[in-house]
């Protein structure tokens, strides 16, 4: 189970009349406790070995490990709120989260201290002080996922790409993917046990893109929100279309049916990466 690495931490509060926090190891510094600032985290993680982003009873989660590390650094328990959930085994290069703390801390020192405590599979790429009303989930305007596949054997990226044999027809899949763009009810591509009642999402971009290495591709999907299992179900369905197992004009009919049983199987989790989350000042990543 991934765990927070331990280091010596000294807390200068209570018996310390200054009420200040002495930080971890040689990077000790002090900041006074005053208001309740909000910090934004940019997080990268390898989802293998985790039960997903959200805290769960059945295994370690990214959220739980982050909250444990913050508790060590800040000497207080603070909840971490992510921009959205990722499933077990799904990765992220651009997950965004926020937390609020009763102590003021330097963002750069906080980033360094967290990265010193977190397991190698989780990295904090940035820590930013943001307005108090910032919310990682509700303020997000768009999310961008990539699903990575390989049509020739790959050794170094075998844990990050779904190896497809035989190779599907990517032009056929791209023609089908155009019908995903727009505002639709995506019940057909949502896990049946998902509790979400609102299944309507707006997709801004859906396309297969060749990667630099011949035979490698990724599916790029940008939307305002995503349902549980949505990207993997879409990818699995498009692969069936690319192999001629389903008509390339089937997407509108599948969307209208609102029946998960009619879509293809979910693609494996290891090929999916949350690449970025956009907020008010971030332009839509549409070419």
In a domain, 176, yes or no: yes
pLDDT value of position 168: 98
In a domain, 271, yes or no: yes
pLDDT mean over 123-132: 96
Residue 25 pLDDT > 80, yes or no? no
Q: What's the CATH code of the domain at 123?
A: 3.30.70.580
Same structural domain for residues 164 and 262?
A: yes
Query: Known catalytic residues?
Result: 87
Residues of the domain holding 230? 142-278
In a domain, 119, yes or no: yes
In a domain, 213, yes or no: yes
Give the per-residue SS3 of the chain.
CCCCCCCCCCCCCCCCCCCECCCCHHHCCCCEECCCCEEEEEEEECCCCCCCCCCECCECCHHHHHHHHHHHHHCCCCCCEECCCCCCCCEEEEEEEEEECCECCCHHHHHHHHHHHCCCCEEEEEEEEECCCCCCCCCCCEEEEEEEEECCCCCCCCCCCEECCCCCCHHHHHHHHHHHCEEEECHHHCCCCCCCCCCEEEEEEEEEEECCCCCEEEEEEEECCCCCCHHHHHHHHHHHHHCCCCCCCCHHHHHHHCCHHHCCCCCCHHHEEEEEEECCCCCCCCC
In a domain, 287, yes or no: no
Same structural domain for residues 163 and 269?
A: yes
Same structural domain for residues 121 and 71?
A: yes
Same structural domain for residues 91 and 165?
A: no
In a domain, 4, yes or no: no
pLDDT value of position 104: 76
Q: What's the CATH code of the domain at 198?
A: 3.30.70.660
Give percent of the chain with pLDDT exceeding 90. 81
Given 130, 158, 189, the domain boundary residue is 130
Given 107, 130, 153, the domain boundary residue is 130
Q: What is the tens place of the pLDDT at every residue in 72-116? A: 999 999 999 999 999 999 999 999 999 999 887 899 999 999 999
Q: What is the tens place of the pLDDT at every residue in 174-184? A: 999 999 999 99
Residue 54 pLDDT > 70, yes or no? yes
Same structural domain for residues 121 and 150?
A: no
Number of domains in the chain: 2
Q: Is the pTM of this model over 0.85?
A: yes
pLDDT value of position 192: 76
Average pLDDT, the chain: 89
Q: Which has more confidence, 95 or 14?
A: 95
pLDDT value of position 103: 81
Given 79, 95, 130, the domain boundary residue is 130
pLDDT value of position 6: 53
């Amino acid at each position: 189970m991934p765990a927070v690495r331990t280091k010596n931490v000294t807390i200068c509060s209570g018996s310390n009349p200054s009420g200040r926090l002495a930080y971890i190891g040689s990077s000790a510094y002090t900041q006074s406790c005053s208001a309740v600032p909000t910090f934004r985290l940019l997080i990268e993680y390898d989802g293998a070995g985790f039960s997903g982003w959200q805290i769960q009873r059945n295994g370690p989660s990214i959220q739980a490990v982050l909250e444990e590390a913050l508790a060590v650094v800040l000497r207080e328990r603070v909840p971490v709120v992510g921009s959205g959930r990722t499933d077990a085994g799904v990765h992220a290069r651009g997950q965004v989260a926020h937390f609020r703390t009763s102590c003021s801390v330097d963002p750069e020192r906080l980033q360094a201290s967290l990265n010193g405590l977190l397991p190698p599979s989780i990295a904090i790429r940035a820590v930013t002080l943001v307005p108090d009303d910032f919310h990682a989930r509700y303020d997000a305007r768009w999310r961008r996922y990539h699903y990575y596949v390989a049509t020739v054997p790959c050794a170094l990226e075998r844990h990050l790409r779904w190896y497809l044999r035989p190779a599907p027809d990517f032009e056929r899949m791209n023609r089908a993917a155009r019908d995903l763009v727009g505002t639709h009810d995506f019940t057909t591509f949502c896990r049946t046990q998902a509790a979400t009642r609102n299944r309507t999402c707006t997709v801004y971009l859906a396309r297969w893109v060749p990667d630099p290495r011949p035979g490698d591709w990724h599916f790029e999907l940008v939307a305002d929100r995503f349902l549980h299992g949505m990207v993997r179900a879409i990818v699995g369905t498009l692969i069936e279309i690319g192999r001629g197992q389903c008509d390339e004009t089937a997407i509108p009919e599948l969307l209208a049916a609102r029946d998960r049983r009619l879509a293809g199987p979910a693609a494996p989790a290891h090929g999916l990466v949350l690449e970025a989350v956009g907020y008010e000042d971030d332009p839509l990543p549409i070419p």
